[in-house]
Each structure stands twice: as C-alpha cells, then as structure tokens.
Structure 1
Amino acid sequence: MAGDRDQAIAAAISRLASANNVPVGIEHVCRACSAALGLAGVSLCTIGDLGLGEPIYATDVVSERAIELEITVGAGPGMQALRDGNVVMSTDLSSTAGLNQWPVLVPMLSSLGVQAVFAFPLAAAEVTIGVLELYRAYPGGLPMAALTDGQLFADYATALLLDSDCWRRGSDMADMLGGTLPEQWARVNLAAVVVSVQLGIGVTQAYQRLRAYAFTVDCQLREVADAVLEGGIQFTP
C-alpha cells in the first residue's frame, strides 16, 4: 500500500512539472502536497547559515508570510521541527495549549487565517536539513492517510534537495527550487552582514537584531533587510 501511495505522489508531482514543461522541482512537491491533502497552503524551508530556517518555496502569500513570521519570532511548529527533528502537529492554534506554547506567534498566524499547522522535518542520516510545513484554515487533526502522505511528500522533497547532481550543476539549482524566495532571503543574509559591521558584533547576533527590529515595527523581515541595504535603516550601537 505504501508503495502505491509513493508512486501516486510521485506521479502527481511529475504531472505538475510536465504541465510546465520543466524538470521536477520543490515548487511541484509543495503544490502537489497542497492539492492532494486539501490544504490552505504549504511552505518549505531549509536550515540557514545563520540558524533557524531560510524559506525556499511557499504555495501562496499566506504560507509565505506564515513561515517568515516563524523565522522572525524564532518559534513555531516549523522551527521546533527543525530543532528537534520530529513531526510537530498543532491541530488547533487557538487552543490553550497552542497559545501557551507559542503566545507571540499564534495571534499572528490567526490573523492570516491559519488555524492548524503540521510540520514534517526533512531528514537524512539523522540530520535535519529543512521542514515541510502544511497550513489549514480550520482546526482539527489530519487523517492517518494524510499524515502518511505528508511524510511521503517530505521524503520526496528531501531526496530532491540531496540530489548531488542538482547541487553540483549550480545554475540548475534555481530551477529546482523555483520561485524568488531564495534570492530574496539572500538579501536578508547580506543585510545581517551590514548590521554586524554597523554594530561591531557577530553576524548571528546581527541577524537576531534584524529579526527583533522587524518584529518591533511589525514589518516583513525582507522589507527591513531591503531598507538596510538601501541605507534607509541604520543600526547604531
């Protein structure tokens, strides 16, 4: 049965890529997962050089904003899955348990219409390299079959990311990832370097300051990064 589901998922991913006449990429994994499981959206991020995660792809604006909020706050189902390497399921974010666990993040996600989150770590050789995060607009758990499929989609994404040919070909890597998030997030990393010079601190500390500023002024982290790079925001000791 598992083999049949594996083949069905691979076929669904391949159909999306074929429709675009491009090789299979992370975009197709996320889109196929969202469609197959009837989700509000899906995001995928990998472990970044500065800790936490770096978004690679999101199926929609809400998913893109949700994963960025998690990274900005530094907490949430996806960040916990990255740290612990275990599947994290929050079936009702507005519940007492959800609010107690992520008191800062939950109201933000609720304002986006996200009521349940399921985070599947992308792991290889017991090392977590990323997370596939599923969002729903209503509370409740996923059926067992959907949980199994979610893990299969995560496994497919892991294999795709670890494909040595993809990483070695360089220019093909952008095609495999899809979207503009990797390029945009590279600017966040660059802004952290600028802030580290301005404040005379390490890049990791500067990244924390950048995230804290974005949270304080209620702006997207990428918008703050752009402002730093353009000279509109300057950090002083």
Structure 2
Amino acid sequence: MAGDRDQAIATAIGRLASADNVPVRLEHVCRAGAAALGVAGVSLCTIGDLGLGEPVYATDAVSERAIELEITVGTGPGMQALRNGNVVMSADLDSSTSLHQWPALVPMLSALGVCAVFAFPLTAGEITVGVLELYRAGPGALPMAAMADGQLFADYAMALLLDSDYWRPGSDVEDVLAGTLPEQWRRVNLATCVIAAQLGIGATQAYQRLRAYAFTVDCQLRQVADAVLEGCIELTP
C-alpha cells in the first residue's frame, strides 16, 4: 500500500513538471502536495547559514508570508521541526497549547487566515536540512492518510535536495532550486552582512537585529533588507 501511495505521489509531481516542460523541482513537490493533501497552501524552506530557515518555495502569498513570519520571529511549528527533526502539528492555532508555545507568532498567522499548521522535517539520518509546512484555513487535524502522504512529499523533497540522480541523470542542485525564491533571500543575507559591517558585530547578531527590526515595524523581512541595501535604513548600535 505504501508503495502504491509513493508511486501515486511521484506521478502527480512528475505530471506537474511535464506540464511546465521542465525537470522536476521543489515547487512541483509543494504544488502537488497542496492539491493532494487538501490544504490551503504549502511552503518549503531549507536551513540557512545562520541557523534558521530560508524560504525556497511557497504555493501562494499567504504561505510565503507565513513561513517568513516564522523565520522573522524565530519560532513556530516549522522552526521547531527544523530544530528537533520531528513532525510538529497544530490543528488549531487558537488553542491554549499553541498560544502558549508561540505567543508572538500565533496572532500574526491568525491575521493571515491560517488556522492550522503541520510541519514535516526534511531529514537525512540524524540531520535536518529543511521543512515542508502545510497550512489550513480552518482548524482540524489532518487525516492519518494525509499525515502519511505529507511525510512522503517531504521525503521526495529531501531526495531532490540530496540525490540529483533520483529524478534525472545530470541534474544538479541549481536545477532543483530553479524558479524559486532564493534570489530574494540572498538579499536578506547581503543586508545581514551590511549590518554586521556597520555595527561591527557578528553575522548571527546582525541577523537578529534585522529580524527584530522587521518584527518591530511589522514589515516583511525582505522589504527591510532592501531598505538596508538601498541606504534607507541604517541600524545603530
């Protein structure tokens, strides 16, 4: 039965890539997952050089903003899954448990219309390199079959990242990541370097300052990064 589901998921992912006339990419895993699992949106991020996630793809604007908020605040289901390598679920973000775990994040996600979140880590042995996160517009747990399929979609994403030959001989990481969000996030990394040089601090501290500023002014992290690079914002010690 597991083999049948694995094959069905592989077929769904491959069909999307064929329709786009491109090799299978991470965006196809996310889009196929959103359709198969009946969720409002899906995002995927990989762990960055500074320890938190960096967005790779999101199926829609709400999902893109949701994962960016998690990274900005530094906490949430996805960030927790990155840290501990376990599936993290919140079937109802308005529950006392979720509010207690992520008091700063939950109101922000609720304002986006996100009511439930399910985070599946991308793991290789003991190492976690990313997370596939599902969002629902209403509260409620995923059915057991959807939970199992969610892990399969995460496994396919992991295979794309670690084994290029898994899909197509001669493909590489650049092929896998093509057409996604990394260029926007590279500007965040560049802005972090600028802040580090301006303040004479380490990159990790500079990244914390950038995220704190974005959180304080309720602005997207990438917008703040662009403002830093354009000289419109200069953080002080």
TM-score interval for Structure 1 and Structure 2 normalised by the shorter chain: over 0.9
**Partner-residue secondary structure (3-state), 1:129:** strand
Decide whether aligned partners of structure 1 residues 30 and 180 sit closer, same or farther in structure 2, where only a CA change above 3 A counts. Answer: closer
- Does 2:226 match 1:226? yes
Distance 2:81 2:5 in 1: 24
Corresponding position of 2:48: 48
Corresponding position of 1:122: 122
Distance 1:60 1:192 in 2: 26
Query: C-alpha deviations, 1:143-166, integer Å up to 9, x for none?
Result: 110000000000000000112569
One-letter amino acid matched to 1:230: E
Distance 1:139 1:115 in 2: 5
**Partner-residue secondary structure (3-state), 2:49:** coil
Provide TM-score, normalisation by structure 2: 0.96
One-letter amino acid matched to 1:205: Q
Query: C-alpha deviations, 1:64-112, integer Å up to 9, x for none?
Result: 0000000000000000000000000000001111111111000000010
Distance 2:170 2:219 in 1: 32
Corresponding position of 2:69: 69
Corresponding position of 1:91: 91
Corresponding position of 2:144: 144
| 2:164/2:171 contact within 8 Å kept | no
Distance 2:97 2:206 in 1: 32
Corresponding position of 2:204: 204
Corresponding position of 2:9: 9
| 1:43/1:59 contact within 8 Å kept | yes
Distance 1:182 1:153 in 2: 21
Tell me the CA shift for residue 178 of structure 1: 3.9
Tell me the CA shift for residue 60 of structure 1: 0.3
Tell me the CA shift for residue 7 of structure 1: 0.1
Give 5+ residue unaligned stretches, structure 1.
Answer: none
Corresponding position of 1:60: 60
Query: C-alpha deviations, 1:24-64, integer Å up to 9, x for none?
Result: 00000000000001110000000100111000000000000
| 2:210/2:221 contact within 8 Å kept | yes
**Partner-residue secondary structure (3-state), 1:134:** strand
Give 5+ residue unaligned stretches, structure 2.
Answer: none
Corresponding position of 1:24: 24
Corresponding position of 2:183: 183
List, as ranges, runs of 4+ consecutive aligned residues in structure 1 with deviation greater than 3 Å: 169-175
How many residue pairs are counted as aligned between the two chains? 235
| 2:71/2:79 contact within 8 Å kept | yes
One-letter amino acid matched to 2:232: G
One-letter amino acid matched to 1:101: Q
One-letter amino acid matched to 1:176: V
Tell me the CA shift for residue 179 of structure 1: 3.5
Tell me the CA shift for residue 180 of structure 1: 4.1
**Partner-residue secondary structure (3-state), 2:42:** strand
Provide TM-score, normalisation by structure 1: 0.96
| 1:57/1:178 contact within 8 Å kept | no
Decide whether aligned partners of structure 1 residues 165 and 12 sit closer, same or farther in structure 2, where only a CA change above 3 A counts. Answer: closer
Distance 2:67 2:10 in 1: 25
C-alpha RMSD of matched pairs (Å): 1.6
Distance 1:6 1:36 in 2: 12
Distance 2:180 2:170 in 1: 16
Distance 2:67 2:173 in 1: 21
Corresponding position of 1:236: 236
- Does 2:204 match 1:217? no
**Partner-residue secondary structure (3-state), 1:122:** strand
Distance 2:12 2:116 in 1: 24
